[in-house]
Amino acid sequence: MKFGKEFAAQMVPEWHEAYMDYNFLKTILKEIQIFRQRSRPPPTTAITGSRRKLSLYRAFSGLTQRHNYPATPGTPDVENQVIVVNTQGESSETMFLMAADEGGEKELVYFRKLDGEFNKVVRFYKSKVDEVMKEAAMLDKQMDALIAFRIKVDNPDQSWFDRSAEMNRLASEVAASMAVLSASTPAGARASRRAPSMDVIDEEGSGKYDESGNEKDVKERENATQIAQKERGMTIRGVRPAPLELLSQVRMNQAAETPRSTIKSFLNVPNQNEIKFTKENLKKVEEQLKNAFIEFYHKLRLLKNYSFLNILAFSKIMKKYDKITSRSASKAYLMMVENSHLGSNDGVTKLMDRVEASFIKHFSNSNRSKGMTILRAKVKREKHRVTFSLGFLVGYAVSLFVALMLFTRARHLLEHENRDQYMENLFPLYTLFGFITLHMLMYAANIYFWRQYRVNYPFIFGFKKGTELGYREVLVLTFGIAVLSIAAGLANLDMDMDPNSKDYKTPTEIIPLGLLGLLVVILFCPFNVIYRSSRFFLLTCLFHCVCAPLYKVTLPDFFLGDQLTSQVQAFRSVEFYICYYGWGDFKHRKNTCKDSVVYNTFYFIVAAIPYWSRFLQCLRRLYEERDAMQGINGLKYFSTILAVSFRTAYVLDKGIGWKFMAWLFSVNAAIFSTYWDLVIDWGLFQKNSKNRWLRDKLLVPHKSVYFVAIVSTVNT
């Protein structure tokens, strides 16, 4: 793979604009190459024919000498110098000394663009380094609070004096070394009697000062302590007082919002913020801080990779420049890159080491292998059994579908006198599985394209690491449901009835209900089978949608809410299941549901539930975020509720008034929704966009994909 493609493949999508524009610089070099080829005199035949022979007479460069530098080290060759790089603060400027040469103005443009890209990269990198340093300081405070929390939970009834007595007892074995330390630092000794102590992870290069700021005295005292320890054959770690006083300033954030807390907040009821020092709360705090360390470490790795990729890109582009122009400018420029903040700052690397040490000690019980496995989560591998199962189920589904067609043709069921009765009563039962299968197929396609264009959907949706489903796993579930539903259809495809009782076979008629019950049991199964984590995640989001607006609206919640708005017919199929089997119509394969007032009432309610849920979610976001766009979005869903209700009324009662109202509100909802989808969601008709008619930033490089998706959205 060429470096340009590899460079683009390893970019962090959110930082795409901050990377060096390698392709544009390569385009400039291509123009320089074309110009030099046109202006260069064509080689003679004699030289071309003897090129191979002349190369055999070149001087031998040696086996151990990699570069042929000037004889005097450190003395630049001023006559062959191509560029001079001036660095001022955080920016650099390259002076091209060969601008007077033919075609030199193109090379001058190249170096200006190169400087611009380098300064952009350095500024972004420095801002991100400052950002992670601030985050590291915040994690320091949170770790101090966690350690104090642990001490308080482990010793709830012990006074600080008893705790210090315990520490003094443990330190009695190293009395000689502690005597040296106590004699030289009386303030530190008194502090150790006031508060319990905890281990400290020593960091290389971290200065230690006494109260007067004298680093030398502290080091001398530490050396004396270490000598005393070695004489006794002992080693102790540095200790400092545990910050128990922080607990008076700590407040626990409400990790999972509940309907009760939402109602209290809406009614301005004061919450009880007093911390309960229990093991349950300690476990919650440890889990949250553990996840914070993992995310922070992941960010550090991305930042380190950002630095490495850009340095490599500058190296590649400069070597390409030297090759095209036959100059030697890369050494001077790359030396400047190495000495810059991008190449010489090792703060990120040191911070990664400290995060690793802290995480291993405090969250993996000093087990380095376990701690690093958690920190450096491996990429989820595709399993062969998943691929095999997918191929098997696809073939099985196709075979069953062909068998269904042949069975229908062989028994002449399309000409059967009861065919209309079958389609009216049993066909809606199986369309539910068709809607589910189609929806899962679309979701699998989404995951496929998300992975193709490096969208970090596990992080965006908040899936637990390593549990997110790939498109193959989703397709396995999809075709598994398809196989079961087609097999159930084959088993149920029976037109014979008892001539005396006019009843159909009961076991045959309850097959669709049994299949639906099986899917519900699998969905709620508490055992760790069939992707339990993903099933529970789906149930949680579904519960939040049903209980809107009592839960804080997150992206998975309103994403699922939007998906459910396209499954109105599936909800009505569930209502039909309840009516068909609950009222005993399945025994006669006869549908009397539409004669019931209760069924017709719920026919309205069921259709409006998904839109009503999204309407309430928009109101919740409007209340919290004070964003007027959320209110307008809520009006869109409310107009859709009115349109669906009047259309349903017209279907149930064929009246002119209902028809007029249905047309009026349907047109209004269609215009409103179409405008919102095109302009707000898809970003169409952007006047000042660099991508005509679309947004400035596009995830998919092919614009035609967006227009096809927009047209399909409008049609649906």
DSSP conformation letters of 55-117: HTTSPP--SS------SSTT---STT--EEEEEETTEEEEEETTTTSTTHHHHHHHHHHHHHH
Once rounded to an integer, what is the mean pLDDT over residues 142-154?
A: 84
In this model, does residue 239 exceed pLDDT 60? Answer: no
Within 13 Å, how many C-alpha atoms sit on residue 380's CB side?
14
Q: What is the DSSP string of 609-620?
A: HHHHHHHHHHHH
**What is the rounded distance in angstroms from the CA atom of residue 520 to the CA atom of residue 524?**
6
What per-residue confidence (pLDDT) applies to 301? 92
Stronger pLDDT, 563 or 245, i.e. the higher one: 563
Q: Is the pLDDT of residue 233 over 90?
A: no
Quick one: what percent of the chain has pLDDT higher than 90?
A: 34
- Find out whether 371 and 364 touch, Cβ atoms under 8 Å: yes
What sign for the dihedral angle of Cα 448, 452, 456, 460?
negative
Q: What is the pTM of this model?
A: 0.73
What pLDDT is attached to residue 501?
54
Handedness of CA 103, 104, 106, 107 (dihedral sign): positive
* pLDDT score at 163: 44
Q: Write the pLDDT tens digit of every residue in 180-192.
A: 333 334 443 333 3
- State the pLDDT at residue 43: 55
- The Cα 571–Cα 591 span in angstroms is 18
Listed in sequence order, the residues at least 6 apart from 178 whose beta carbon sits closer than 8 Å to its beta carbon are: 171
- CA neighbor of 16 nearest in space, from 465, 459, 461, 455: 455
Whole-number percent of the chain with pLDDT over 70:
74
Spell out the domain ranges in the chain. Answer: 379-524, 539-681
pLDDT tens digits, 443-478: 999 999 888 888 888 888 988 877 889 999 999 999
Q: Which of 240-244, 290-294, 499-503 bottoms out in mean pLDDT, i.e. has the lowest? A: 240-244
List the beta strands (DSSP E) in 238-341. 239-241
Q: For all residues of the chain together, what is the average pLDDT?
A: 78
**Lookup result for tokens 């496929």:** 448
| pLDDT reading at 493 higher than 80 | no
For residue 213, is pLDDT > 60?
no
Short-list 478, 481, 560, CA closest to 516: 481
Read off φ and ψ for residue 196, nearest 5 degrees: -65, 160
pLDDT of residue 182: 38
Contacts of 257 (CB under 8 A, 6+ apart): 551, 552
Residue 584 has pLDDT above 90, yes or no: no
Closest CA relative to residue 438, chosen from 627, 263, 573:
573
Q: How confident is the model at residue 307 (pLDDT cuts 50, 70, 90)?
A: very high
pLDDT score of 444: 96
Select from 4, 11, 28, 26 the least CA-distant residue to 121.
11
pLDDT digits 0-9 by tens, 117-132: 999 999 999 999 999 9
pLDDT digits (tens, 9 = 90+) for 366-395: 899 888 888 887 666 778 899 999 999 999
**What's the mean pLDDT in 253-262?**
62
Q: Is 60 a residue whose pLDDT tops 90?
A: no
Rounded mean pLDDT, 270-280: 68
Q: What's the CA gap between 365 and 496, in Å, rounded? A: 69
Rounded to the nearest 5 percent, the helix, strand and coil shares of the chain are 70, 5, 30
Whether 88 shows a pLDDT value over 70: the answer reads yes
Per-residue pLDDT band for 689 (boundaries 50, 70, 90) equals confident
Per the CB < 8 A criterion, the answer to whether 525 and 535 are in contact is yes
Peptide bond into 76 cis (omega under 30): no
pLDDT, tens digit, for every residue of 698-708? 877 778 888 88
3-class secondary structure for 24-58? HHHHHHHHHHHHHHHHCCCCCHHHHHCHHHHHCCC
Average pLDDT over residues 319-327: 88
Q: Which two tokens stand for residue 370?
A: 């376990």
